A and B are shown apart, each in its own frame.
Chain A
């Protein structure tokens, strides 16, 4: 695990004794320094709400802002809001939230800052699963498709963690490299079959993160990702502990494999749901948790709300940019996130320079 952030007082002391069975770490330590942090979180939440409001008002159809206040006078605008804008905004926030939290969990499980579903083969194996469904059982309903993708994602991620365990001396940079290599292998397999069946372009279309087809009735699966995010928050302390290592976890009387399996399932299902409904949004799971770690440190209980809020904000912002730049046409959010995310990531890398990992 990397160095804790500047104000992270709540990592457990080595002599910490747990109250079995649940571990609850930080509560008593927090109140003194925390009023400010809560305020900052509220401010960030407010900023995301402003972005959400902007997202409601931006689009091809004209939706004046006072349609929100006096719906009766703008029947058409309200219709557009209900059918298109609200679902889109909600799905952006849900996807952003859950992907960012999934990134955080992966970083804790792999004990490495540079891991996220898109650098550890999770997303690639999910999309291999989607391709397999498309080729073998094209008529399957979306829920079953997602389930298959989640299965593939879980297997791919498990393989990643398995390989990590076999690497004796792992430096901080080897971990993401292993993930990228594994992801590239899955990607190669996917590309190969897509090529053989002339599906390359379709593959591109469905893996590029894009919310342009989100409408009422077409995004609701993302609420499942939200539920998983809530579950992640409920069991957050376990991930914090798991992030401190297997020996430490076992010392506390917790089953490390079980925590890993739980985290893995959450990450795989979230990734599969997002990839199946809107496609891949790179970097969010990487950049957001790292930024949050700089702000509030590495305690999952404290950082998950931050990660969720900033994740939602990041995706909202990218999609708003993608919708505005070429109005009335769109630039897929995956493309915008790739550009913005890579810049942010470079910035983080240079900032952390020398203390990688």
Chain B
């Protein structure tokens, strides 16, 4: 009673063929990755002897970390940025895209990859057994799973107390790696710059922070992930009603017109991730043209990768401040054409 065997229709056969090839290619890539990935180590992995480490309190609890960990894998660009400033060498990183001053970590031979920020390669980590894994921000959701495998600390920043956590994170890394001296210098320099910046921002008008992505806009206020501009750098918010939320509030150009900021701070998300970016085109419109910010030439495109991707690194905060100091030092421009 069984039906006669039928040939696969050509279309289906083609689809199946493509699927098989795709699986084979990615399967091969996946199986190849761990072979490249393990951190080169001289000695066989050994668990730290009890008492050999110190307990480090961090954003998601506390962890016993060996004195001066030698093998470090970092799952956070901000932490990478801070470690770079402290002069700590890391042995492994995650992700594909290392913007600007972190470009050197893009060298996969020198810095093996352990998956992405969102999806750590647990197999590779298990094989490499690093002394310390650092998560934060985008990877903080993977903390628990990583901590079960290797000593892990979480460097997530708290938007509501952004600067305090940046300082705290820097000091934590400094303690772990014995770089207290460098950390103190960095933090002091930062506080000096903040004091200077605050002196210039407070009386130069109100600002609005807008993130653009795929042709849409959202606004961010004090206490939000970009709220440091208001909270720490003293720029009065043009829209004080904005609540803090991870993805901001969806707005249209009319909102910018009504808010009428003196400064419009733009973070171009598409440019941050290296995909063109159309913030200029989006904001160059008849509604925005009527705002004080546009008329005074005070539409500021914040360095996108630094602001959006790295965020809470100690150098990244310094670079953000430098950019703001520059634009605030510029003489006020007359109406833009």
Contacts and interface: CB of A to CB of B under 8 A. Distances in A.
B275 A197 contact: yes
Q: At the interface, is chain B mostly helix, strand, loop or mixed?
A: mixed
Contacts of B286: 83, 215-217
B323 to A, nearest CB: 23
B158 to A, nearest CB: 23
B287 A215 contact: yes
Contacts, number: 95
B216 A84 contact: no
A184 B65 CA distance: 46
Contact of B217 (A203, A213, A217, A218): A213
Contacts of B275: 134, 138, 197-199, 202
A201 B272 CA distance: 12
A8 interface: no
B36 interface: no
A208 B253 CA distance: 18
Nearest to B309: A198
Contacts of B262: none
A331 B285 contact: no
Interface string A114-145: 00000000000000000000100011000000
Given A138-B275, A199-B275, A215-B285, A60 B254 contact: yes
B250 A212 contact: yes
B11 interface: yes
Contacts of B251: 60, 212, 328-330
B24 to A, nearest CB: 16
A99 to B, nearest CB: 19
A83 B287 CA distance: 7
Interface in A36-78: 59-61
B88 interface: no
B217 A212 contact: yes
A166 interface: yes
B190 interface: no
B213 interface: yes
B269 A330 contact: no
A163 interface: yes
B42 interface: no
Contacts of B97: 198
B214 A60 contact: no
Contacts of A60: 251-252, 254-255, 257-258
B249 interface: yes
Contacts of A243: none
A2 to B, nearest CB: 28
Given A199-B273, A329-B249, A80 B213 contact: no
B258 A328 contact: yes
B215 interface: yes
Interface centre among A198, A326, A329 (most CB of B within 10 A): A329
A201 B257 contact: no
B300 interface: no
B252 A212 contact: yes
A84 B249 contact: no
B204 to A, nearest CB: 25
B3 interface: no
A335 B217 CA distance: 16
Interface residues of B, number: 30
A332 interface: yes
A333 to B, nearest CB: 11
> How many interface residues does chain A have, given as a range?
35 or more
B286 to A, nearest CB: 5
B282 A213 contact: yes
B29 to A, nearest CB: 12
Contact of B250 (A138, A218, A330): A330
A205 interface: yes
A222 to B, nearest CB: 15
Nearest to B276: A138
A223 interface: no
B20 to A, nearest CB: 15
Nearest to B249: A329
Interface centre among B215, B249, B251, B273 (most CB of A within 10 A): B215
Interface in B258-316: 258, 269-270, 273-276, 282, 285-287, 290
A61 B260 CA distance: 11
Contacts of A208: 216
B334 interface: no
Contacts of A134: 275-276
B214 A84 contact: no
A210 interface: yes
B254 A61 contact: yes
B337 interface: no
B213 A201 contact: yes
Contact of B253 (A163, A215, A332): A215
A227 interface: no
A216 B285 CA distance: 9
Contacts of A332: 250
Contacts of A80: 254, 257, 287
A206 B276 CA distance: 14
Contacts of B217: 212-213
B9 interface: yes
A205 B254 contact: no
Given A84-B287, A202-B213, A215-B287, A329 B255 contact: yes
Contact of A210 (B216, B253, B270): B216
B258 A205 contact: no
B254 A201 contact: no
Nearest to B213: A205
Given A213-B253, A329-B249, 12 more contacts: A60-B251, A60-B255, A60-B257, A61-B254, A80-B254, A84-B253, A198-B275, A202-B275, A203-B214, A208-B216, A217-B286, A329-B219
14 contacts: A60-B257, A61-B257, A80-B254, A162-B11, A197-B275, A198-B273, A203-B214, A205-B213, A205-B215, A206-B216, A212-B250, A213-B253, A328-B255, A331-B250
When A and B form their complex, which 10 residue pairs have the shortest distance between CB atoms, in order from nearest? A205-B214, A212-B252, A329-B249, A202-B214, A206-B214, A60-B254, A138-B276, A205-B213, A205-B216, A83-B286
Interface of A: 59-61, 79-80, 83-84, 134, 138-139, 162-163, 166, 197-199, 201-206, 208, 210, 212-218, 326, 328-332
